[in-house]
Amino acid sequence: PITGLSQASKRPDQYIGIHFFSPVDKMPLVEVIVGRRTSLATLARALDYVAQLKKTPIVVNDSRGFYTSRVIGTFTSEGQAMLAEGIAPALIENAAKLAGFPVGPLAVSDEVTLELQWKILRQAEQDLAARFQRPVGYAVLEKMIALGRLGRRQGGGYYDYPQDGPKRLWAGLSGHWPVREDQPPVEELVKRFLFIEAIESVRCLDEGVITHPADADLGSVLGIGYPAWTGGALSWIETVGLDAFVAECARLARFYGPRFKPPRSLKKRAAAGTRFYPLPGPGQAA
């Protein structure tokens, strides 16, 4: 957390986080993270710097994982949970791409490395102690680490990376997580990916990690590959419809667990008909 790092500075009011995305020369988003003691002048200077780089900033309040890493973590963890359920790895990856994500959750994990994901989880476990909640993909990640499958940079993770051809899913996956005979419809997997990131985005808004829905939408599309056709994680909820989204969350929670439960704030929005982006009134431009 940026606030923790700033404690080593003699000028914590001038301490701020600037989070780039890989590959830096191609990714348009920059996440600017404000610590508890960061001054407005420092924030203004950081935004000027990002503008000079011709990138798009979102402003995020300090939190473990910030906004983007926290949300994409639900995507990779959901893919790991599907693997543990006996869903075919190729179906997991292709369902994500069919939804509009650039790559599947297993490929994302390989790129950022499973080793890094594991270190982040262990650090959170150490720091949060009894408050730490294991993500649904924890056991799968732990097993991959034990197997020495640490990611692309270390030679292989969920995928193999032969020198004489394209990457391919590691054949050993089925030995540790046998593929069941009855595979779910691809549409169900698509929903799980879209819903889990949207739900986490709502939680980030509730907790003040982000302060405006536009930051969630920009961050999800430009930073972590949420499908562009949705308009962003929160815009997609409004496209589905608040009532319909809450009802589908409840159904997913019954089948897959409490991580899909609709946040209380979302149920209140649905009951009151309060949108993230209010519709223009009479005489107002859309």
Please say if the pLDDT value at position 193 is more than 60: yes
Predicted TM-score of the model (pTM): 0.94
Q: Which residue has the tokens 């405006």?
A: 212
Would you say 266 and 202 are in contact if contact means Cβ atoms under 8 Å apart?
yes
Q: Per residue in 66-75, pLDDT tens?
A: 999 999 999 9
For the chain, strand residue ranges (E) read: 16-19, 29-34, 56-61, 159-160, 168-169
Would you say 220 and 201 are in contact if contact means Cβ atoms under 8 Å apart?
yes
Would you say 209 and 70 are in contact if contact means Cβ atoms under 8 Å apart?
yes
Cα(41)–Cα(44) distance, integer angstroms: 5
- What's the pLDDT score for residue 197? 98
pLDDT band with cut points at 50, 70 and 90 for residue 22: confident
What is the per-residue DSSP string for 205-223?
Answer: HHTTSSSSHHHHHHIIIII
- 48-62, 119-133, 236-250: lowest mean pLDDT where? 119-133
Portion of the chain with pLDDT greater than 70, in percent: 98
